[in-house]
């Protein structure tokens, strides 16, 4: 309780430094949370697009459709394989384009057997497409390779940007905590010297500053959540009304995990920043 009271007293006494630290940390955490939510939604949309991505193989007239189907169904990368007959393909085409129904009845069905594959890993699309082209009886393959490469490039770019952003923002927050605790230590320098003269341990001296750092981290995380949660809910609601086709991350578990991770990160930054300041002071005066 003594350490907690001293920490709260230091925050009140050095309120300018405390507000500056809270502002810096809240801004950093808000940007980080916003980017994390953006990444969640981009990954959700990419996952939806990848799940809809299919390889289409068109068979020659001389091919044995069932033999080709059995062959590709045994490939480990293939989740599902669907064989579509020429008659079914024409019926599907007429459903999408009703105006061709009468002309199509005047000619023989020109459509071939077609095979549609879904893969467990979209990054294997190009390789499976090449394997399909080498099968006897396969005339043409549409593998959507460019779309897959685009998906993977977006994921890689997000990971890279996220890594850089985490380092920059957390460094900024850590620097703010270090400076705030250093200011608190400077303000209490004489008091700390008296405590050391009467035999106070390093742990006793450290504890108020460590608690102060953790408290500032926790408070900044709570402020961030107060900004981000209502803001994201409002934006998601507006986007769902205007872009109904766009899937948005609304899984309570995923959002709760993100919130807990944000709080844990803020607490860790507060603890590490205050520990760095106290350690530097004790080394300088030790």
Q: How far is CA 24 from each of CA 21, 86, 128, 162, 258, rounded to the nearest angstrom?
A: 5, 64, 50, 19, 20
pLDDT of residue 3: 60
Question: Does 204 have pLDDT greater than 80?
Answer: no
CA angle 11, 17, 22 (to 5 degrees): 80
Question: Does 284 have pLDDT greater than 60?
Answer: no
pLDDT in tens, 66-108: 888 888 888 888 888 888 888 887 787 777 767 666 666 666 7
pLDDT of residue 147: 66
Instruction: Give CA–CA dist 105/119, Å, rounded.
Output: 36
Using DSSP's 3-state secondary structure scheme, residue 261 falls into: helix
Q: Which of 11-25, 73-87, 198-212 has the lowest mean pLDDT?
A: 198-212
pLDDT of residue 260: 92
Instruction: Give CA–CA dist 93/102, Å, rounded.
Output: 13
pTM of this structure: 0.64
Question: Does 240 have pLDDT greater than 70?
Answer: yes
What the chain holds in terms of domains, given with CATH numbers, is: 2-49+149-285 (no CATH), 54-143 (3.30.70.3040)
Out of 117-131, 174-188, 249-263, the most confident range is 249-263
Query: Please, is 53 exposed, middle or buried when counting C-beta atoms within 10 Å of its C-beta (0-12, 13-18, 19+)?
Result: middle
Contact 75, 119 (CB under 8 A): no
Question: Does 109 have pLDDT greater than 60?
Answer: yes
pLDDT of residue 1: 63
Mean confidence (pLDDT) of the chain:
79
Instruction: Give CA–CA dist 282/261, Å, rounded.
Output: 31
């Amino acid at each position: 309780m003594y350490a907690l009271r001293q920490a709260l007293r230091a925050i009140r006494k050095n309120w300018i430094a405390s507000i500056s630290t809270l502002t810096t940390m809240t801004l950093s955490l808000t940007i980080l949370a916003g980017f994390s939510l953006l990444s969640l939604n981009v990954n959700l949309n990419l996952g939806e697009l990848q799940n809809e991505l299919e390889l289409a193989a068109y068979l020659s007239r001389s091919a044995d459709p069932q033999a080709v189907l059995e062959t590709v169904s045994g490939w480990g990368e293939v989740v599902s394989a669907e064989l579509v007959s020429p008659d079914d393909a024409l019926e599907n085409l007429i459903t999408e384009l009703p105006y061709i129904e009468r002309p199509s009845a005047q000619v023989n069905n020109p459509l071939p057997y077609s095979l549609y594959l879904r893969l467990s890993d979209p990054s294997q699309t190009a390789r499976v497409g090449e394997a399909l082209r080498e099968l006897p009886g396969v005339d043409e393959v549409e593998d959507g390779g460019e779309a897959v490469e685009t998906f993977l490039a977006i994921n890689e770019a997000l990971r890279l940007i996220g890594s850089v952003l985490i380092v920059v923002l957390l460094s900024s927050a850590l620097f703010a905590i270090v400076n705030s605790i250093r200011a608190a230590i400077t303000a209490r320098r004489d008091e700390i010297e008296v405590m050391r003269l009467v035999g106070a341990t390093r742990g006793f001296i450290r504890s108020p500053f460590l608690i102060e750092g953790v408290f500032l981290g926790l408070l900044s995380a709570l402020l961030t959540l107060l900004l981000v949660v209502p803001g994201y809910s409002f934006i998601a609601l507006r986007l769902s009304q205007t872009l109904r086709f766009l899937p948005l991350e609304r899984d309570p578990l995923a959002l709760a995990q993100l919130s807990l991770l944000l709080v844990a990160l803020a607490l860790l930054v507060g603890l590490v920043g205050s520990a760095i300041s106290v350690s530097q002071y004790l080394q300088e005066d030790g």
